[in-house]
């Protein structure tokens, strides 16, 4: 049996699912807005981790929304911002997410969400997406006040799971997240959601597994 931490944003749920809610406010800019919002959200997390200037993911998400609106020349009312931030707690799950998690749970693996997000917000998001359960719980970086790919964050997952590093896995569609886990001594599977996307390892590390969907993990993670 393995202890498996699943990244949430981009792996279990789709941040670009904000295109729909955004369309009512920004029209044809919706996809560009959603993509830019996500990128600046990540950029802020990386910078805050490096500078040790932590603010939780809910704050970072709101700040990235403000920045994106300014960058794209969009004016959003306070009510519109609140509506969009509420929609962020209702992001759609990827089609393979629930079935893949159910199969892995049935096979005896211990599954948790492992995310930059705030635990309370993650629980709302994952519950509405019908992923909590089969996920048994949530491990948030908020506990250590830093962000992936800080090694301290992955060591926190290792401590929470209580399994040896060789039996502790990260599953993520974000290459930088996989690199972080490998650099901290964990095992990792990269979910390559776009078949044309190359691995970005920069000579640092390689994933233990590369899969196109969560369903492929059932026969490939040791213990299955």
Catalytic residues: 7
Concatenating the DSSP letter of every residue in 18-47 gives: GHHHHHHHHGGGHHHHHHHHHHHHHHHHHH
- With contact defined as beta carbons under 8 Å apart, do 40 and 68 qualify? yes
Question: Cβ of 222: how many Cβ atoms within 10 Å?
Answer: 12
Structure tokens at 56: 């939780």
Sign of CA dihedral 97, 178, 90, 146: positive
Query: Looking at the chain, which runs of residues are DSSP E strands?
Result: 3-6, 110-115, 138-140, 168-172, 187-191, 209-211
Considering only the C-alpha atoms of the chain, give the largest distance between any 2 of them, rounded to a whole number of Å: 52
**Helix segments in 77-211, DSSP class H:** 78-87, 97-106, 119-128, 151-161, 175-183
Instruction: Report d(CA 165, CA 97) in Å as an integer.
Output: 24
The structure tokens 């600046």 sit at: 40
- With contact defined as beta carbons under 8 Å apart, do 161 and 168 qualify? yes
């Amino acid at each position: 049996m393995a202890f498996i931490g699943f990244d949430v944003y981009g792996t279990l749920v789709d941040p670009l699912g904000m295109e729909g809610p955004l369309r009512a406010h920004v029209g044809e800019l919706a996809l560009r807005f959603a993509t830019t919002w996500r990128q600046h959200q990540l950029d802020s997390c990386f910078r805050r981790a490096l500078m040790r200037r932590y603010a939780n993911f809910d704050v970072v998400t709101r700040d990235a929304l403000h920045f994106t609106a300014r960058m794209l020349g969009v004016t959003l009312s306070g009510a519109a911002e609140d509506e969009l931030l509420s929609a962020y707690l209702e992001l759609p799950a990827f089609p393979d997410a629930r079935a893949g998690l159910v199969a892995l749970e049935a096979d005896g693996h211990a599954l948790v969400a492992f995310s930059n997000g705030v635990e309370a917000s993650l629980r709302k998001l994952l519950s509405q997406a019908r992923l909590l359960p089969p996920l048994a719980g949530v491990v948030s970086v908020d506990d250590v006040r830093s962000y992936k790919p800080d090694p301290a964050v992955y060591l926190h997952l290792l401590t929470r799971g209580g399994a040896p590093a060789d039996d502790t896995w990260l599953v993520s569609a974000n290459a930088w997240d996989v690199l972080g886990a490998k650099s901290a001594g964990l095992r990792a599977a990269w979910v390559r959601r776009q078949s044309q996307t190359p691995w970005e390892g920069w000579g640092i590390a390689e994933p233990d597994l590369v899969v196109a969907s969560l369903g492929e993990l059932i026969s490939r993670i040791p213990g299955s």
